[in-house]
């Protein structure tokens, strides 16, 4: 492995060129025709076989290693965000209203970089390596369709990374256990009885009823959930009523619920349903709640976090490893991969105040210190070799 890592820095400009090429042509969701065309062209040039249109618009590329009985996967997301870029870089987005403001261009460049380095060292690759180029992480989630289309067939473990604008370039972030929350859409409907606003006793006020429900729902967190657990209930939109002198008959309220535990999620759903139905009944109306589960929680496999930590300690030394204590209550669909097979997700520092690279992700001025790309390539290659030793021992 040492000989392979020694040549990575020689290709640092190659990684940067790919990242800039992809940055200039951002696309959204599953509609990634130019992005995938460019990735396939690079894979062709490298000499790596691949399958297109996996899970609608994903790419699965396979590299054969010495041990054909072990396969390790690496994943990168490809999609961008609906943001108008406001930077002065030469490779600025040329697609109006679209921008790689979350670093997926860097993720893809790193994965292609890994493919390039491994292809140059075919006789030294310990096992099969699968590169997953995934669409739609920012929207409805491209991981699950790829899995359903066979992206994980025969795969023993998986690693993924995300650029981290809060960490300086040269640092690595790791998190044991829960990394990102699950997401559930919440839709609450209250039905009352309309009447003249001068005679409210003739009707059932759906706004008053919904107000009582909203206030009561705060107790699901403060009184029904262990304080050591994580639960967020945010109701972000409410609509109802037709005129100021009419008692409203119907009110709709929608929001989101985030949690790190399946058990807490199901318990919260039960309690929310009870509060909605019984509070509405107490006020003389009816209430119902509809839950639409979205992303599941991302739970790292701790033994694979140990692999990342071990490799980071060798590459950048322990002082540059940040062991995160708190989970991110945002979502990440890498969760679906580690829900099926062992693996871990880590973050790659890309911040550099001296270079003025300080903007947060999902911001129109977002950028990264491209020196992080070579670090990402090295980390993923090291993860392959170390995980293979673990898997070989287990088999």
Catalytic residue from among 332, 370, 380, 388: 370
Q: What pLDDT was estimated at residue 288?
A: 98
Q: What pLDDT is recorded for position 276?
A: 98
- Same-domain check for residues 199 and 255: yes
CATH, residue 227: 3.30.70.360
The pLDDT value recorded for residue 395 is: 62
Q: Could you list the residue range(s) of the whole structural domain that residue 211 is in?
A: 182-293
One domain for residues 304 and 374 = yes
Predicted TM-score (pTM) of the model is 0.94
Could you confirm whether 304 is annotated as catalytic?
no
Query: Do residues 247 and 286 share a domain?
Result: yes
> Splitting the chain (395 residues) into consecutive groups of 10 residues, what average pLDDT does each group show?
89 98 98 98 98 98 97 98 97 98 98 98 96 95 97 98 98 98 98 98 98 98 95 97 97 98 97 98 98 96 98 96 96 98 98 98 98 98 97 77
295 counts as catalytic: yes
Q: 208 and 257: one domain? A: yes
Alpha carbon distance 51, 48 (integer Å) = 10
Adjacency order of strands within the sheet including 250-259:
231-240, 250-259, 182-191, 286-293
Q: In CATH, what number is assigned to the domain containing residue 9?
A: 3.40.630.10
Q: What b/e string do you get for 269-297 counting C-beta neighbours within 10 Å, with b at 16 or more? A: bebbbebbeebbeebebbbebeeeeebbb
Q: What is the pLDDT of residue 140?
A: 84
Residue ending a domain, choose from 252, 278, 293: 293
Q: Give the model's pLDDT for residue 225.
A: 96
Per-residue confidence (pLDDT) for residue 393, from 0 to 100:
74
pLDDT of residue 331: 96
Q: Do 286 and 312 lie in a common domain?
A: no
pLDDT score, position 268 = 98
Question: Catalytic pick from 283, 295, 337, 388?
Answer: 295
How many domains does the chain fold into? 2
The string of DSSP letters for 19-67 reads: HHHHHTS---TT--HHHHHHHHHHHHHHT-EEEEEETTTEEEEEE--SE
pLDDT, residue 3, reads 84
Distance CA 330, CA 362 (A): 13
Pair (52, 152) in one structural domain:
yes
């Amino acid at each position: 492995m040492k000989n392979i890592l020694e040549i990575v820095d020689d290709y640092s400009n190659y990684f940067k060129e790919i990242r800039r090429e992809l940055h200039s042509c951002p696309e959204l969701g599953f509609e990634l025709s130019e992005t995938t065309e460019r990735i396939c062209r690079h894979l062709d040039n490298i000499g790596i076989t691949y399958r297109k249109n996996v899970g609608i618009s994903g790419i699965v590329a396979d590299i054969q290693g010495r041990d054909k009985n072990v396969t390790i996967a690496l994943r990168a997301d490809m999609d961008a965000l609906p943001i108008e870029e406001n930077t002065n870089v030469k490779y600025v987005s040329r697609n109006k209203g679209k921008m790689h403001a979350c670093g997926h261009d860097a993720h893809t460049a790193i994965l292609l970089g890994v493919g390039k380095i491994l292809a140059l060292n075919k006789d030294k690759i310990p096992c099969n390596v699968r590169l997953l180029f995934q669409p739609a992480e920012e929207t409805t989630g491209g991981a699950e369709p790829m899995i359903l289309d066979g992206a994980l067939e025969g795969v023993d473990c998986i690693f993924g990374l995300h650029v981290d604008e809060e960490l300086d370039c040269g640092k690595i972030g790791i998190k044991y256990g829960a990394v990102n929350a699950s997401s559930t859409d919440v839709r609450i409907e209250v039905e009352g009885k309309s009447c003249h606003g001068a005679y409210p006793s003739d009707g059932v006020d759906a706004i008053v009823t919904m107000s009582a429900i909203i206030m009561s729902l705060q107790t699901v967190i403060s009184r029904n959930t262990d304080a050591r657990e994580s639960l967020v209930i945010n109701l972000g939109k409410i609509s109802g009523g037709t005129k100021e002198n009419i008692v409203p008959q119907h009110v709709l309220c929608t929001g989101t619920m985030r949690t790190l535990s399946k058990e807490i999620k199901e318990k919260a759903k039960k309690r929310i349903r009870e509060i909605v139905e019984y509070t509405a009944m107490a006020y003389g109306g009816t209430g119902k709640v509809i839950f639409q589960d979205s992303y599941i929680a991302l739970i790292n496999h701790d033994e694979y976090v140990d692999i990342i930590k071990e490799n980071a300690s060798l590459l950048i030394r322990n002082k540059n490893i940040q062991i995160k204590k708190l989970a991110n209550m945002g979502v990440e669909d890498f969760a679906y991969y580690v829900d099926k097979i062992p693996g871990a997700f880590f973050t790659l520092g890309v911040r550099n105040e001296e270079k003025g690279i300080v903007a947060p992700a999902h911001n129109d001025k977002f950028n990264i210190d491209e020196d992080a790309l070579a670090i990402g390539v090295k980390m993923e290659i090291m993860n392959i070799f170390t995980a293979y030793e673990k898997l070989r021992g287990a088999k």
